[in-house]
Amino acid sequence: MIYPIVKFGDPVLEKPAAAVTVFDDELKKLVEDMFESMYAAHGVGLAAPQIGISKRLAVIDVTFKEDPDAKLVLANPEIVHTEGTHRQNEGCLSIPEFREPVSRARIVTIRAQDVNGKWYEKTGEDLLARAFLHETDHLNGKLYISHISALKRDLIKRRIRKLAKAGEW
C-alpha cells in the first residue's frame, strides 16, 4: 500500500515519535509499505511520521532499488558517532520543491534495530551519512530546515503559507 506523504505544517512532523516495541508481522507490512511509498515518491529515505505514523521507524535506500543490500530498516535509531563535515543540498519529501545546502557530518555511525528487532551498527559516508542524520532528525520531530539560517527558513515558510492559501500545498 502506498501512503500519501504528510507535508510540512502537519504537527506529526514536529513531535518526537514513540519507540517501536513490537516486531511482528504488522511491523513487517508497515516497513514494506514504507519502502513502496518512498519509491513512489522518488525518495531515498522515509520516516514513519512522514506517513502520519508517530513511530521511531525509518527506511533508507540511497541506491534507489539498484542494490537490494542497500535497503535499510532503522527502528529506534541512535547516532553513535559522527566525523567530519560535508555541505550539500538537501531536500525532504515532506517539503517538496525546496532544497537548501545543509552542513552535516560526513561519516556517521548509527545503532538501530532491524525489522526483526535485532540491533546492528552501521557506518555511512556522504549521502548515507546524511540520510542517517536526516531520518533520525525526523523521529525527533526535527526537519532539515532547522539546520539552515532563520532568514532562509522564514522565506521557505512564507512561500509554503502562500502555496497553502492557494490550495497548492
Active site residues: 135
Tell me the residue nearest to Zn ion as measured from the CB: 92
Q: Does 17 bind Zn ion (CB under 5 A)?
A: no
Q: Are 94 and 45 in contact (CB under 8 A)?
A: no
Of 30, 37, 135, 36, the residue nearest 92 (C-alpha): 135
When the beta carbons of 17 and 92 are compared against Zn ion, the nearer one is 92
Q: Which stretch binds Zn ion (CB under 5 A): 56-64, 75-83, 87-95, 102-110?
A: 87-95
Binding mask 127-166 for Zn ion (x = CB under 5 A): ----------------------------------------
Q: Which stretch binds Zn ion (CB under 5 A): 19-27, 92-100, 112-120, 150-158?
A: 92-100
Element (H, E) at 119: strand 119-125
- Shortest Cβ 85–Zn ion spacing (Å): 20
Q: Does 92 bind Zn ion (CB under 5 A)?
A: yes
Find cell 532528525 and name the residue. Answer: 137
Question: How many CA within 13 A on the CB side of residue 154?
Answer: 3
When the beta carbons of 43 and 75 are compared against Zn ion, the nearer one is 43
Q: Which stretch binds Zn ion (CB under 5 A): 5-13, 85-93, 125-133, 147-155?
A: 85-93
Residues facing 46 on adjacent strands: 59
Q: Are 94 and 5 in contact (CB under 8 A)?
A: yes
Q: Which residues contact 64 (CB under 8 A, 6 or more apart)?
A: 39, 42, 44
- Shortest Cβ 119–Zn ion spacing (Å): 24
When the beta carbons of 21 and 52 are compared against Zn ion, the nearer one is 52
Per DSSP, the three-state class of 101 is strand
* Count of positions on this chain that bind Zn ion (CB under 5 A): 1
Per DSSP, the three-state class of 25 is helix
Applying CB under 5 A, the residues found at the interface with Zn ion are: 92
